[in-house]
Amino acid sequence: MRPRRLPTLAVLVLSGMALAGGTTPAVAVPDDGLNVTSVACSEAPRELPINEFTDHRELGIELDRIERVSGGKVQVEQAGRSNRGREIYTARVGTGRKAVLLTSEIHGNEKTGTDAILDLLDWVGTSDSAKARKWRSELTIVAIPKMNPDGAELDRRGNDMTWQEVTARHPQLRGAQPAWNYYTTPRQGDDYAVRPGFDINRDYNPDLNYVPRKEDLPGHSAQTGWYLSPETSLVRDVYRGLTAEFGKVDTYVDLHHQGACFVMPDDPDEFVTLSISGKFVDDPATTPGLEKYARNYDLTYSKQLNVAVNNALQGAANNRPVFGNVTLYPQDTNLPGTGLGSFALNGSGTVLFEVRGQTQTLGQKHRAVLTRSVYIGLDGMLSAVASGQVRKLNPADYDRIPPRGPNVGTGAEEARVDF
C-alpha cells in the first residue's frame, strides 16, 4: 500500500490532540492561500494530481488493516460490487442503539470524505479513551466509503454504466426513454460520450421497496429516482437492513464537494471551506406524492445535527480560522431523488457536507486541511449524538449559519451542479 502523505505540522498537531480527546493548543499557522481570494481561483476543469487520495485498491488494504488493529471492533464486509465489478465495502463499529450511516464519494471526484471516514474508523476502533468508549456503547456506526468506485477510479462525477446495461438489469424498462440523469455529453471536463454513466445521487427513492417502472422515466430533478444502479441499490439495502435492526436509522451523513471559488457572504476575501445542510426536499406535507412521509420527516433534528457540526468547526477555528468558514448550502434545494432527500423522508436526521473544490479544480491541493475539516465536523456531530446533547441544541442556530456567498472564480458555470 502506498503510504498516505502526512499532513502539515499544524494539522498534525490539531489531529493528534483531537484524536487523544484532549484540548488543542493554539497553533500559529502561516497563511497557505486556502482561505484568501487574493489567490486566483478558477472553476475550469483541469487534469490535476490526485495520487495522495486513497484509491480503490488502497481502500481495501486500509480497511483490512483497521479491522486487524481494532481487534475486530471495526467489522469490514464486502456489501456488493459496482457495475464494473469493484468491491463496495461497509465498515461497522459500535454496539449502541443509535444507528448512524455515513457514505462518501458517491461522486467519484469528491474524495476528502473517504479519507476522513478512514481516519475516524481508525480512531474509534483503536482508542481506549472515554470518548471512544462512549461512541462505541451508544452508537452503531456503519460507513460505506467510496460508494462509487467506478467513478472514483475514473476521477469523475458519474458512474460507468450504459443505458443498455440498465435495461439488461431491469428488462421491464426496455423501450423507455433513458433517465434524465444519464450522462452522454461532456461534463466537468469528462467526455461521457465515450464512457456514459449516471449521476447516481439522483437514483434514490424514499419507497425502499420501489421497483423501477417504465412509466416513471425519464423523470426530472424534482422527482424521485429509481434504484437503477447497483451502487444506490446497495446503499438502499444497507439502510433497509439497519432500519429492520434498529427500527430507524437515527442519522445519515453524505460527504460531498462543491465549487472551489465560493466566498463567505460577509467577507469576499475568504473562501468557503465547506457548506452544510439538513434540508433537501420541500415540505412533504404539502408536496403531492410525498404526503405519506410527512409524519416521519424531522427537519428539526436535521437542523440540530448540523448545528453540532458547525459548533465543532467554529471551536476549531480558534486555532485555525479557516475551519470557521462554514456556510449553509442553498436552502431552496428540492431533490427527493438524492440519498439525503430519500432517507430524510424515511425519518433519519440528515447532514450534507460540501467541501471546497472537486478534484478537477483543486486536485489534491489543501487535501490535509479539507479532510481535517470533515473529520472535525463528524467528530462534533457524533459526540453530540452519542451523549444525547444534540437534542438540546437550538435548531434556530441552524438558520443563523450564514448563507453561501457568490462564486468569484473564472468559469464559474462549472460549479452550478447541485450536490
Domains of the chain plus CATH, in order, are: 45-415 (3.40.630.10)
List, in sequence order, every beta strand (DSSP E) within 148-213. Answer: 182-183, 197-198
Q: In whole angstroms, what separates CA 178 from the centre of its chain? A: 26
Q: DSSP label at 264? A: E
pTM score over 0.85: yes
Q: DSSP label at 20? A: T
Which secondary-structure segment (H or E) carries 273?
none
Name, in order, each residue with C-beta under 8 angstroms of 42's C-beta and a sequence gap of 6 or more.
260, 261, 361, 409, 410, 411
| Pick from 383, 374, 419, 384: nearest CA to 118 | 374
SS3 category, 78: strand
Report the distance separating Cα 168 and Cα 165, nearest Å: 5
* Residue 326, burial from CB neighbour count under 10 angstroms (0-12, 13-18, 19+): buried
Using the CB atoms, write b or e for 292-303: b if 16+ within 10 Å: ebeeebbbebbb
- Angle, alpha carbons 101-104-105 (nearest 5°): 155
Residue type, 409: G
Report the distance separating Cα 104 and Cα 352, nearest Å: 11
Q: What is the pLDDT along the chain (419 residues), one digit of tens a residue?
A: 333 333 333 333 333 334 334 433 333 344 455 666 556 899 999 999 999 999 999 999 999 999 999 999 999 999 999 999 999 999 999 999 999 999 999 999 999 999 999 999 999 999 999 999 999 999 999 999 999 999 999 999 999 999 999 999 999 999 999 999 999 999 889 999 999 999 999 999 999 999 999 999 999 999 999 999 999 999 999 999 999 999 999 999 999 999 999 999 999 999 999 999 999 999 999 999 999 999 999 999 999 999 999 999 999 999 999 999 999 999 999 999 999 999 999 999 999 999 999 999 999 999 999 999 999 999 999 999 999 999 999 999 999 999 999 999 998 665 567 78
